[in-house]
Amino acid sequence: MDPDSLIIVALGVGLTVLAMLPTFLKREAQERRTRIAHAESLRYGLHEPVSLHPIVDPGGCIGTSNCVSVCPEEVLGLRAGQAIAVSPARCIGHGLCERICPVDAIQLVFGTEKRGVDLPRIQENFETNVPGLYVIGELGGMGLVANAFEQGRQCVEGIVREMARDPGGQGDLDDLIVVGCGPAGLSASLTALEKGLRFSTLEREDLGGTVRHYPRKKLVMTRPVKVPGYGRLPMREVRKEELIGLWEDIAHKVGLRVDTGVTVTGISRVDHLHFEVSTAEGVRRARRVVLAIGRRGVPRKLGVPGEDEAVHVAYALREPEAYRDDRILVVGGGDSAVEAALALAEQPGNDVRLSYRGDAFSRIKPANQRRLESALSDGSLEVLLQTLPRRILPDEVTLEWPDGRAREVPADQVFVFIGGELPTAFLRSAGVEIETHFGAP
Ligand SMILES: Cc1cc2nc3c(=O)[nH]c(=O)nc-3n(C[C@H](O)[C@H](O)[C@H](O)COP(=O)(O)OP(=O)(O)OC[C@H]3O[C@@H](n4cnc5c(N)ncnc54)[C@H](O)[C@@H]3O)c2cc1C
């Protein structure tokens, strides 16, 4: 090769290396961050998925790392040029990673091989196997206020598109009944109002859902959401009372009517265009029904001797200030349990213990993780990991470890936060199929 050609080749190679350098450096930085995140994930138990989480097809991933950059919760990382789920327990299920992957190598799945999750069968538009019956929010497996809100909007926008395609058969029937007015039902109702649907919203308690039952002054951690017919709510942290006040204000301003104090007892599809929704006050009819009833209706119980007879066992905490100079046991490993334990530990004279069956608090938000660590280091809270309550007496609870060791802990008050039961019988009576998910795509 003559010297001129050599120079041209060398220049070409040099330019190629230069052009690839930023990509190489970005990858190196991401792999380094992944190593750190992986260590943190193991430390806090975030490597065990709780419910919805991404899985990456190792054969399909081409390592663009777009999914890593796009995930605000930092669920994914990059190892050996391929995406991996580093902290799947942090996933809140918005699916940005799945959508941005250019080769469809990512899928969001519920549950794991070891831990099945029961959910109503829902399609992408939130419709169940019963045509015209939709499930949104926590009932469909998607927890968190902002997710529930987003699903409410998306679901009703989809219904409106479908109605535009098939405008026939409207008659005198309402277009829609929304059941439940937590964040999911509220957002569905606001969208229905904005889009001019004929609808009603039936709520057995009051507007606000589970949020209304949070402990007093609880800081709700969320993300900005679009409120149909109103605008954007930009906040990331807001007190429970403020959030409820804001929602009530929005409902008032846009003229949303919620029929409160109305419990829906059954839903049946009468013919292919028509649902009957039964309540104590009578039967309502509509072409479609959106179920947004959450999962908190039936709190999950421990199922141990003494629980049903005990008057000092509760499944919600609204007024931590009401408890002072008490010996308290909180049971559970999620944000609700940790927040309750922390709030109770802050009250004067309380002696608070937190019992959790897991070996780490893998599902809680980073802010709660930090508060928990600080409470542990200042001794205001005792955490008993890998323990199961076995018996409840009026002033103590027997806890058991996996190796058979047992200990009686003093407890004048017991709070149990181990989630809610899926209202399986209610859903099945409406014809909705339930599936157990084991993390398979
Ligand atoms: C203690 C605690 C703390 C939490 N903290 C946060 C947080 O900081 N940030 C966050 O994003 N998420 C948090 N969550 C989770 C969040 O509250 C839920 O994911 C969210 O409220 C789910 O909304 P939803 O509309 O699907 O259901 P819900 O809020 O549960 O609303 C369901 C509504 O349906 C009504 N209903 C039920 N059955 C019927 C019936 N048969 N007829 C008529 N109405 C019915 C209920 O009365 C209720 O109003 C927390 C949860 C708990 C328990």
Residue 210 Cβ inside 6 Å of ligand 1? The answer reads yes
Query: Where a domain ends, among 110, 134, 151?
Result: 110
pLDDT along the chain (441 residues), means of 10: 81 78 81 88 75 89 92 89 89 82 92 84 93 94 86 96 78 91 98 97 95 86 87 90 96 96 93 89 95 85 90 89 95 93 96 94 84 94 96 96 95 92 87 88 71
276 and 173 together in one domain: yes
271 and 356 together in one domain: no
User: Residue 419's pLDDT is what?
Assistant: 83
pLDDT tens, residue by residue, 63-94: 999 999 998 788 999 999 999 999 888 787 77
Pocket test for ligand 1, best of 51, 122, 145, 264 (most atoms within 8 A of CB): 145
Residue 137 Cβ inside 6 Å of ligand 1? The answer reads yes
The protein residue whose alpha carbon is closest to atom 45 in ligand 1 is: 180
Place of tokens 């421990």: 302
User: Residue 144's pLDDT is what?
Assistant: 83
How far apart CA 219 and CA 164 sit, in angstroms, is 41
User: Residue 353's pLDDT is what?
Assistant: 98
How far apart CA 384 and CA 363 sit, in angstroms, is 16
Query: What is the Cβ-side half-sphere exposure of residue 95, based on CA atoms within 13 angstroms?
Result: 11
262 and 345 together in one domain: no
Residue pair 422/341 in contact (Cβ under 8 Å)? The answer is no
Residue 411 CA, ligand 1 centroid: distance in Å: 28
The protein residue whose alpha carbon is closest to atom 48 in ligand 1 is: 209
Residue pair 60/104 in contact (Cβ under 8 Å)? The answer is yes
Residue 138 Cβ inside 6 Å of ligand 1? The answer reads yes
How far apart CA 384 and CA 359 sit, in angstroms, is 9
Strand partners, 268: 276
How far apart CA 118 and CA 143 sit, in angstroms, is 14
Closest atom of ligand 1 relative to the 186 alpha carbon: 25
Residues with Cβ within 8 Å of residue 89, at least 6 apart in sequence: 41, 45, 46, 47, 48, 49, 50, 53, 362, 363
45 and 181 together in one domain: no
Closest atom of ligand 1 relative to the 142 alpha carbon: 19
Strands 413-416 and 313-314, how do they pair?
Answer: parallel
Residue 419 Cβ inside 6 Å of ligand 1? The answer reads no
Nearest 5°: the CA angle 347, 352, 358 is 135
231 and 279 together in one domain: yes
Strands 133-135 and 282-291, how do they pair?
Answer: parallel
174 and 75 together in one domain: no
CATH number reported for the structural domain that contains residue 201 in this entry: 3.50.50.60
Is residue 98 included in any domain, yes or no?
A: yes
Query: Where a domain ends, among 79, 110, 141?
Result: 110
Residue pair 202/177 in contact (Cβ under 8 Å)? The answer is yes
How far apart CA 76 and CA 83 sit, in angstroms, is 7
Question: DSSP of 322-345, one letter per residue?
Answer: G--S-EEEEE-SSHHHHHHHHHHH
159 and 234 together in one domain: yes
Residue 186 Cβ inside 6 Å of ligand 1? The answer reads no
In this structure, the number of other CB atoms found within 10 A of the CB of residue 350 comes to 20
Is residue 20 included in any domain, yes or no?
A: yes
Q: At 179, phi and psi to the nearest 5?
A: -105, 120
Residue 150 Cβ inside 6 Å of ligand 1? The answer reads no
Is residue 126 included in any domain, yes or no?
A: yes
User: Residue 399's pLDDT is what?
Assistant: 97
Query: Where a domain ends, among 77, 110, 143?
Result: 110
How far apart CA 146 and CA 365 sit, in angstroms, is 15
Three-state secondary structure call for residue 362: coil
The protein residue whose alpha carbon is closest to atom 12 in ligand 1 is: 144
CATH number reported for the structural domain that contains residue 90 in this entry: 3.30.70.20
Residue 182 Cβ inside 6 Å of ligand 1? The answer reads yes
Residue pair 49/91 in contact (Cβ under 8 Å)? The answer is yes
Is residue 308 included in any domain, yes or no?
A: no
328 and 395 together in one domain: yes
User: Residue 171's pLDDT is what?
Assistant: 67
Residue 175 Cβ inside 6 Å of ligand 1? The answer reads no
Which structure tokens are listed for 251? 């409902």
How far apart CA 202 and CA 204 sit, in angstroms, is 7
Residue 210 CA, ligand 1 centroid: distance in Å: 3
Strands 351-356 and 327-331, how do they pair?
Answer: parallel
Is residue 147 included in any domain, yes or no?
A: yes
Residue 261 CA, ligand 1 centroid: distance in Å: 16
176 and 154 together in one domain: yes
User: Residue 170's pLDDT is what?
Assistant: 57
Q: At 340, phi and psi to the nearest 5?
A: -65, -45
Is residue 97 included in any domain, yes or no?
A: yes
Domain extent, residue 369, equals 313-416
**Number of domains forming the structure of the chain:** 3
How far apart CA 434 and CA 428 sit, in angstroms, is 8
Closest atom of ligand 1 relative to the 180 alpha carbon: 34
156 and 221 together in one domain: yes
Is residue 304 included in any domain, yes or no?
A: no
Residue 78 CA, ligand 1 centroid: distance in Å: 35
Q: What is the DSSP-derived secondary structure letter of residue 162?
A: H
Is residue 106 included in any domain, yes or no?
A: yes
Strands 133-135 and 259-260, how do they pair?
Answer: unpaired
25 and 85 together in one domain: yes
The protein residue whose alpha carbon is closest to atom 37 in ligand 1 is: 293
203 and 70 together in one domain: no
